[in-house]
Amino acid sequence: MPLHNAEIADRLNRLAALLEIEGANRFRVRAYRNAAGTVAGLPRDAAAMLADGEDLSELPGIGEDLAGKIAEMVETGSLQALDEVEARVPPGLFEMTRVPGLGARKVKALYDALGLDSLDALREAADRGRIRQVPGFGAKSEANIRRELDRLEGEGDRLRLIDAEHIAEPLMAHIRDLDGVSRATVAGSYRRRKETVGDLDILVVAEDGDAVTQAFTAYEEVAQIVGRGATRATVVLRSGFSVDLRVVAPESHGAALHYFTGAKSHNIALRRRAVARGWKLNEYGLFDGDTRIAGRTEEEVYGKLGLPFIPPLLRENRGEIAAADEGRLPSLAELSDIRGDLHCHTTASDGKFGIREMAEAARALGYGYLGITDHSRSQTVAGGMSTDDLAAQIDEIDALNAEFAGFRVLKSCEVDILEDGQLDFPDDLLARLDYTVCSVHGRFDLSRETQTERVIRAMDNPNFTILGHPTGRLINRRAPFDIDLDRVMRAAADRGCFLELNAQPSRLDLDDARCKMARDMGLKIAVSTDAHTTDGLEMMRFGVAQAGRGWLEADDILNTRPVAALLEAMAR
Ligand code: DGT
Ligand code: CA
Ligand code: CA
Ligand code: ZN
Do 318 and 394 fall within a single domain? no
Q: Is residue 188 lining ligand 1, measured as CB closer than 6 Å?
A: yes
270-280 residue pLDDT tens: 999 999 999 99
pLDDT tier, 40 (very low <50, low <70, confident <90, very high otherwise) = confident
Q: DSSP assignment, residue 57? A: G
Is residue 313 situated within a structural domain?
yes
Of 82-96, 148-162, 501-515, the one with minimum mean pLDDT is 148-162
CB of 234 sitting under 6 A from ligand 1: no
CA distance 239 to 165: 13
Q: What is the mean pLDDT of the chain?
A: 94
Residue 232 lies in a domain: yes
Ligand number nearest CA of 197 is 1
CATH number for the domain spanning 29: value is: 1.10.150.110
Indicate if 231 and 373 belong to the same structural domain: no
Give the model's pLDDT for residue 42. Answer: 80
C-alpha of residue 264 to centroid of ligand 1, in Å: 5
- Quick one: average pLDDT of 384-398? 97
> Distance between CA 553 and CA 330 in Å, rounded?
6
Nearest CA to ligand 1 atom 27: 264
Let me know: does 21 contact 93? Beta carbons within 8 Å: yes
Exposed/middle/buried for 290, CB within 10 Å: 0-12, 13-18, 19+?
exposed
CB 21 within 8 A of CB 108: yes
Same domain, 505 and 403: yes
Whether 536 is in the pocket of ligand 1, judged by its Cβ within 6 Å, is: no
Ligand 2 centre distance from Cα of residue 505 (Å): 18
Task: Give the mutation target among 202, 203, 245, 267 for probing the ligand 1 site: most ligand atoms within 8 A of CB.
Answer: 267
Q: How far is it, in rounded angstroms, from Cα 321 to Cα 174?
A: 36
Protein residue with least CA distance to atom 15, ligand 1: 260
Q: Does 292 have pLDDT greater than 70?
A: yes
Domain of 286, CATH number, reads: 3.30.210.10
Q: Quote the ligand 4 centre to 439 CA distance (angstroms).
A: 6
Model pLDDT, residue 1: 63
State if residue 176 touches ligand 1 by the CB under 6 angstroms criterion.
no
Which residue has better confidence, 497 or 158?
497
pLDDT at 477 over 90: no
Protein residue with least CA distance to atom 21, ligand 1? 264
Pair (144, 195) in one structural domain: no
Mean pLDDT of 521-537: 97
**Percentage of the chain surpassing pLDDT 70?**
99
Tell me: do 412 and 499 sit in the same domain.
yes
* Ligand 1 atom, smallest distance to 158 CA: 4
Query: Which pLDDT belongs to residue 536?
Result: 96
Asked if pLDDT for residue 326 goes beyond 90, the answer is yes
Ligand 1 centroid to residue 198 C-alpha, Å: 10
Q: Is any atom of ligand 1 closer than 6 Å to the C-beta of 267?
A: yes
Q: What is the pLDDT of residue 332?
A: 98
Q: What crossing angle do the helices spanning 161-176 and 5-22 adopt, rounded to 10°? A: 140
CA distances from 445 to 13, 127, 141, 386 (A): 25, 22, 12, 27
Q: Ligand 2: distance of its center to the CA of 199 in Å?
A: 4
- Beta strands in 485-524, from DSSP E residues, in sequence order: 498-502
**In this structure, which ligand is nearest to the CA of 466?**
4
Residues, CB within 5 angstroms of ligand 2 (ion): 188, 199, 201
The answer to whether residue 184 sits within a structural domain is: yes
The radius of gyration of the chain from alpha carbons, rounded to an integer in Å, stands at: 25
Mean pLDDT is lowest, of 96-100, 311-315, 468-472, 553-557, for 96-100
CATH of the domain at 403: 3.20.20.140
Dump pLDDT digits (tens) for 352-371.
999 999 999 999 999 999 99
> Are residues 36 and 128 part of one domain?
yes
198 lines ligand 1 (CB under 6 A): yes
- Per-residue pLDDT, averaged over 304-327, amounts to 97
How remote is the CA of residue 470 from the centroid of ligand 4, in Å? 10
Picking from 97-101, 327-331, 465-469, which range would have the lowest pLDDT averaged per residue?
A: 97-101
Across the range 524-547, mean pLDDT stands at: 97
- Span 437-443, average pLDDT: 96
SS3 content of the chain, % helix, strand, coil (to 5): 50, 15, 35
CA-262 nearest atom, ligand 1: 18
Domain boundary among 247, 270, 305: 247
Of 142, 123, 185, 193, nearest to 164 (Cα)?
193
Rounded to two decimals, what is the model's pTM? Answer: 0.81
Sequential DSSP letters for 307-356: -PPPPGGGTTTSSHHHHHHTT----B--GGG--EE--B--TTTT-SS-HH
Helix axes 5-22 and 26-40, enclosed angle (nearest 10): 170
Q: What is the pLDDT of residue 318?
A: 95
pLDDT of residue 329: 98
Domain holding 346, by residue range, is 335-570
Ligand nearest to the CA of 188: 1
Q: Which of 325, 346, 362 is the last residue of a domain?
A: 325
Does the beta carbon of 354 sit less than 6 angstroms from any atom of ligand 1?
no
Instruction: Give the residue-averaged pLDDT of 41-53.
Output: 87
Q: What is the CATH number of the domain that holds 193?
A: 3.30.460.10
pLDDT of 41 over the 70 cut: yes
Q: Which residues of 524-537 are buried (b: 16+ CB within 10 A; e: fewer)?
A: bbbbbbbbbbbbbb
Q: How far is the CA of 196 from the centre of ligand 3 (A)?
A: 13
For residue 260 and ligand 1, the question of a CB distance below 6 A is answered with yes
Tens digit of pLDDT for each residue in 163-180? Answer: 999 999 999 999 999 988
Residue 500 CB less than 6 A away from ligand 1: no
* Residue 465 DSSP SS3: coil
Q: Which ligand is nearest to the CA of 260?
A: 1
Check pocket membership of 201 for ligand 1, CB cut-off 6 A: yes
Same domain, 378 and 511: yes
| Distance in Å, CA 193 to ligand 2 centroid | 11
Same domain, 231 and 121: no
What mean pLDDT is predicted for residues 312-322?
A: 97
Which pLDDT score, from 0 to 100, does residue 100 have?
78
Q: What total of structural domains would you count in the chain?
A: 4
- The domain boundary, picked from 155, 171, 195, lies at 155
Which pLDDT score, from 0 to 100, does residue 147 have? 85
> Strand 498-502 to strand 525-528: parallel, antiparallel, or no bridges (unpaired)?
parallel
Q: Is 272 in the pocket of ligand 1 (CB under 6 A)?
A: no
pLDDT tier at 4 (50, 70, 90 boundaries)? confident
**308 shares a domain with 186:** no
Pure H helices in 177-208: 188-191
Mark whether 241 and 208 lie in a shared domain: yes
Given the CA of residue 190, which atom of ligand 1 is nearest to it? Answer: 8
At 421 the pLDDT is: 98
Ligand 1 center from residue 121 Cα (angstroms): 34
- Which residue has a Cα nearest atom 5 of ligand 1? 189
**Is the pLDDT confidence value at 474 over 80?**
yes
In this structure, what are the phi and psi dihedrals at residue 540, rounded to the nearest 5 degrees? -55, -35
Residue 489 pLDDT greater than 80, yes or no? yes
Reported as a single tens digit per residue, the pLDDT across 130-161 is 999 999 999 989 998 988 888 777 666 789 99
Is the residue at 413 inside a domain?
yes
Same-domain check for residues 29 and 172: no
Taking CA atoms only, the protein residue closest to ligand 1 atom 17 is 262
Separation of CA 484 and ligand 4 centre (Å): 19
Quote the ligand 3 centre to 307 CA distance (angstroms).
26
pLDDT over 90 (residue 388):
yes
Q: How far is the CA of 265 from the centre of ligand 1 (A)?
A: 9
Domain annotation covers residue 330:
no
224-272 pLDDT tens trace: 898 988 899 999 988 788 999 999 999 999 999 999 999 999 999 999 9
Q: Look at ligand 1, atom 16, and give the residue with the nearest C-alpha.
A: 260
Q: What is the DSSP letter of 381?
A: G
Distance 285 CA to ligand 3 centre (A): 19
Q: What is the pLDDT of residue 347?
A: 96
- Tell whether 483 and 565 lie within a shared domain: yes
Does the beta carbon of 268 lie inside 6 Å of ligand 1?
Answer: yes
